[in-house]
Amino acid sequence: SGCGLADTNSNMFPEVDSTWKTFREIQRLLSKTSGKVIGDVMTPSPLVVRETTNLDAAARLLLETKYHRLPVVDSAGKLVSG
């Protein structure tokens, strides 16, 4: 196949084990969120850490709580971008 058609088509579809899984997760999420706004699903008072928080302490918080992420804030309580 000297025309390169196989190379062109090889990336036409997402990989089932990565992109497709993500696509399915988004579809499932959207089917459950019809009519909701961010305020309906957000955590109103999330648990946060500071830039100076010890990594061990942050990891312990994740293990001991239901949270999967810890926003990082500065001394004024403003979200720190990373």
- Per-residue pLDDT of 31-80, as tens digits, reads 877 788 889 888 888 999 999 999 999 999 999 998 889 999 999 999 99
Query: pLDDT value at position 49?
Result: 96
For the chain, counts of helices (H) and of strands (E): 4, 2
Query: pLDDT value at position 48?
Result: 95
| 10: confidence class by pLDDT, cuts 50, 70, 90 | low
Does residue 22 or residue 49 have the better pLDDT?
49
Does residue 20 or residue 45 have the better pLDDT?
45
Residue position matching structure tokens 């500071």: 50
CA 67, CA 78: separation in Å to the nearest integer?
Answer: 19
Are 61 and 47 contacting, i.e. CB atoms less than 8 angstroms apart? yes
